[in-house]
Chains A and B, each alone.
Chain A
C-alpha cells in the first residue's frame, strides 16, 4: 500500500474482559466467556450456552463518564462507546483531534435489543411502546451517540454486512485515510445479543447446545457472544505529527463475495480464498510470510469446512498456525472482526498464538489441526484475521508488526 495505515489505539469489551487489560489477563488464563449464565430474558438464552457480558445496560452506562444521560442508549451503542473510548484514550487523541477524525462504525443488529422491547408493546397497542427505544433501532443511532461522546464531527458512517462488518469498517477506514479524506479514523464494530439474533441463529439450526468446537470434526455449531472491538487507524504522517506510537500496521485487506448462498458458504471456499488472497496481495507480502491465522472458525459444519478448504488452497504445502478464538469469546457477529483484530494486535505485541479451545479431532477431509494451547513465545510479524458473514460476505485483514 502506498500509505501505511497505522494502528495507534485499540479497545475492546467482551465476555472475557471489559478492557484490554482484562482481556489480556483472560487470554493468559485461557479463559472462556461461554457459559449458561444469561442476562437476556429469553427462553433460548436460558437453554443454550452464550458468551454474554454479564452487566446490565445501567451498569455499562455507569462506566462511561461523559455519556449523554438524556438519551436512551442501546446495548450495542453502550458496548461500542466503552471500547471506542478506550481506543481513543490509548491513541492519546484530544477532543480537538477527534473533531476532524472520522468514525466508521459497524453493527449487524444495531439497537434491536431495545427495538424488540418496543415492538412487543407496539404489537399490543399501535400507540404503545417507548418511542425512545424505537429511536435506537436503526444501525446509525449507535454511531451518532458514539460520535457525540467522542466529539467526532467530520465524518461518520456505519457498515452492516453481518459477521464481517467490523473488518469491512476497517477497510473503509483505510480507504478514507489513503485518499486523504481523514488522517485519523476510529473504526470497529459492536453487537449485543437480543432475542431477535438468538432466535434467528436458532432457526438456522446452527447454534450448539455445548461450548463450540471450531475445526473439530464433531463440531455442533456456534455460541453467540456479545462484544465490541475498536481501533484508531491513522496515517503515518499524522502519527508522526502527534508523536503517537504505532501498535501495529494494517498492512492488507480484502473483501470478496462468495456469491453462493445467502447464509451458507461454498464448498470450495471461493469467497474466503479471494478475500485472503486480496489481503495478502494488497500488503505486498507473500503467503509464506504469514505467521499466524486468526480464523473465522465459528464451529458450524459449513463455515469450518469451507474456510479449511480455502486455507489449504492458499497454503497447500505449509499451513501457518491457525486457531479460532470463538470458543473464548463466542461468535460476536459484527464485532467479531473487531475483537479478533484487537487480539491479533495483542498477539503481535506479546508474541502469543491463541488456543483453539475445545478442539479434539481434525475434520477428516482437510486434516487441519489448529493450535490448542496458548503459545507465549511465538513471535509473529504478519497475522491474517478472517471474518465471514451472511450474504457470502468474506473479509480478511492482514495485521503486521511495525
Chain B
C-alpha cells in the first residue's frame, strides 16, 4: 500500500539495549546471553507519579515512559488515536492473578492484578495518563500484533480521520513464560545453536512507541512510504514477486534500496525463508537485530526504531550489520519481517526530503 504523507515524528523504546537514552546509537551494546536479558529500564520515578505507578507492572511502566517520550519528541501533540500491539499482554499481572486463584482456591483475590492483566491496559493507561479521549485500540495476534497496530494507524491517517496517531508495541518476559517457550523450543538460544542457525537468539522483551503524523516537523525522523502485510503469500506467488510488486507501487526497484532490515530469529527453519530475500538484495547492506533485542511476538517493532534512526542519522548501525555493501547512505530502507513463511510484512522508510 502506497502511503501519502506519513512521518515518524516521535519515537522511543525501552529494550534490552540502551535505546531509551539512545546510547545504543553510539555503539554501546549489551551482550545477550542464554537467559533472557531484561530491559534497560529508566528510573521510573523521574517520569511517573510514584504513587500512581507503584502498582504498575514493568510492561505498563515501560509503555508509559516510552509513550511520554515519543509525545514529547513530537512537540507534545495529543495523539488522535492510541494503538498498541502486544503478543502476550500483561504477563506479570496475569500470572499474579492466575496463581492467586489456583493457590487460594478461588477466594480472597484482589482485583488489581485482574484489572491490569487485560491486554488493553497499556493503551488505556496511556490514554488516562495524557487524558486522551480519542480512539483506543489493542491488537494481539502473534507476529502481526505490532503490524496490525501500524496498519490501523496508517489507515486512520490515510483516510484523514486524524493527523497524529500513536502506535506502540509492548511485550514483557516473566520467568514462567521463558521456561514454557523454552520447553516449546521457541525463541531459545540453545535451540538456535543446536539447529546450526547462523545467529543465536534468546527470548526478548521491550516496548516501542511512535508518533506518526501527516505533517512534517523539525524532529521528523523518517517518512513511511509504503507498507504491506500478508498472512500467507498468494497461491502461485513468490516472495521475490511480492517484493517487486511492493516496490513497483512506489516506483522503485531493488537497486534503489540501500539497506534492508531483516527479522532473522536464529531458528534455522524460520531463517531459511529470509534466504531468497537476502539473495534479491545482495547489493544492499543487510541488517539483523534480534540477536541484540531478542525475539518476541512484537520484536519486529525494534526494526522500525532502528530504521527510523538510521534514516535520520544517515548512517548504518554497525552492531546490526549482517552483510555490508559499502555503506551507501540509507535513504531508502526496506524492513521485512516474517515468521516461517507466514506473517509477512514490508515497510519502506525514506528520507523526509525524498
Contacts and interface: CB of A to CB of B under 8 A. Distances in A.
7 A-B pairs closest in CB distance:
A391-B124, A140-B142, A200-B114, A160-B119, A158-B141, A157-B148, A203-B111
B121 interface: yes
A154 B109 contact: no
A143 interface: yes
B232 interface: yes
11 contacts: A126-B176, A140-B140, A152-B231, A154-B234, A156-B231, A175-B155, A176-B155, A196-B101, A257-B123, A257-B134, A259-B128
Contact of B134 (A155, A160, A179, A256): A256
Interface in B140-187: 140-142, 144-145, 148, 151-152, 155-156, 158-159, 176, 179-180, 183-184
A274 interface: yes
A43 B105 contact: yes
Interface in A139-195: 139-141, 143-144, 147, 152-162, 168, 172, 175-176, 178-179, 181, 195
B214 interface: no
A168 B97 CA distance: 26
B1 A119 contact: no
B27 interface: no
B120 A391 contact: yes
A270 interface: yes
B125 to A, nearest CB: 7
A196 B97 contact: yes
Given A134-B184, A392-B128, 5 more contacts: A42-B106, A152-B231, A203-B114, A204-B115, A390-B120
Contacts of A202: 109
Given A140-B87, A157-B148, A168 B137 contact: yes
B99 interface: yes
Given A160-B139, A176-B155, A140 B145 contact: yes
A393 B87 CA distance: 19
B133 A271 contact: yes
A155 B230 contact: yes
Interface of B: 1, 82, 87-89, 95, 97-99, 101-103, 105-107, 109-111, 114-121, 123-125, 127-128, 131-142, 144-145, 148, 151-152, 155-156, 158-159, 176, 179-180, 183-184, 229-232, 234-235, 297
A126 to B, nearest CB: 6
A138 B155 CA distance: 26
Contacts of B127: 257, 259, 391-392
B231 A147 contact: yes
A280 to B, nearest CB: 15
A44 B106 contact: yes
A172 B151 CA distance: 10
Contacts of A123: 99, 102-103
B101 to A, nearest CB: 5
A131 interface: yes
A21 to B, nearest CB: 31
A199 interface: yes
A152 B105 CA distance: 41
Given A156-B141, A158-B140, A259-B128, A131 B120 contact: no
B230 A391 contact: no
A172 B82 contact: no
A54 interface: no
Given A181-B1, A199-B114, A390-B115, A159 B137 contact: yes
A135 B128 contact: no
A29 to B, nearest CB: 34
A138 B140 contact: yes
Interface SS of chain B: mixed
A108 interface: yes
**Most chain A beta carbons < 10 A, residue from B145, B231, B234:** B231
Given A158-B140, A200-B117, A172 B152 contact: yes
Contact of B231 (A138, A153, A196): A153
A24 interface: no
A263 interface: yes
A163 to B, nearest CB: 10
Contacts of A110: 140
Contact of B144 (A156, A259, A271): A156
A71 to B, nearest CB: 14
A156 B297 CA distance: 14
Contacts of B230: 154-155
B102 A153 contact: no
B240 to A, nearest CB: 19
Interface in A209-243: none
Contacts of B82: 257
Given A158-B141, A161-B138, A256-B135, A262 B128 contact: yes
A376 interface: no
A196 B113 CA distance: 11
A200 B179 CA distance: 25
B232 to A, nearest CB: 4
Contacts of A43: 105-107
A330 interface: no
A131 B186 CA distance: 12
Contacts of B179: 126
B187 to A, nearest CB: 13
A263 B269 CA distance: 43
B312 to A, nearest CB: 28
Contacts of B180: 122, 131, 134
B120 A143 contact: no
Contacts of B133: 256-259, 270-271, 274
B139 A157 contact: yes
A391 B184 contact: no
B105 A159 contact: no
A315 interface: no
Nearest to A139: B140
Given A134-B184, A199-B106, A393-B124, A204 B114 contact: yes
A119 B102 contact: yes
Nearest to A110: B140
